[in-house]
Amino acid sequence: MEIKIITPLIMEQVMNLKAGDRVLITGYIYTARDAAHKRLIELVNKGEKLPFDIVNSIIYYVGPTPAKEGRPIGSAGPTTSYRVDSYTPDLLRLGLKGMIGKGDRGEEVVKAMKEYKAVYFGAIGGAGALISKSVESSEIIAYEDLDSEAIRKLKVVDFPAIVVIDKDGNNLYKIGQSRFLNDMKAI
């Protein structure tokens, strides 16, 4: 069963999501990679306003390719999430509720997710062309000079993802490894 999520990602939705849940996200999400995260934290440290309302938002770690004619975005596969781990706890403290990427997260990120009640979604690496079909519109809202790493506001419909780490810190990667090892012992 797939769970439909409408953004903004409110606390009630976060509280009901469990590691392993398949979701379809509809609404607005924001893109940001390493360079953009660095600039966001610089703004936070200066006490300045962020270029979008981070409260109850979802950030997708992606650097999309240029759009083909008639499309809002090119291939939009996830990037490796640990690249932004050093910045993530501060954004969670400010109200970020969801992140989309690939790969596991560091201990400090998971600790902050539990404290501030947020979720980490996994998107399928290598499926960027397929994922881009979920994007209805794309608008650069900050850091255009970063090209593919600029912050974009994406309107998505039924963006496919899986809850990898839920608000309690349950981690699908660890759960899957544990099940596999138990199955191997049984053989």
Q: Which helix (H) or strand (E) holds 168?
A: none
Task: Report angle CA 26, 77, 162 to the nearest 5 degrees.
Answer: 50
Considering 5, 13, 23, 37, which one is annotated as catalytic? 37
| Cα–Cα distance measured from residue 52 to residue 33, given in angstroms and rounded to the nearest whole number | 15
Decide if 130 is catalytic. Answer: no
Instruction: Report in angstroms the alpha-carbon separations of 156 from 35, 41, 72, 126, 181.
Output: 23, 26, 11, 19, 37
Which residue numbers are catalytic? 37
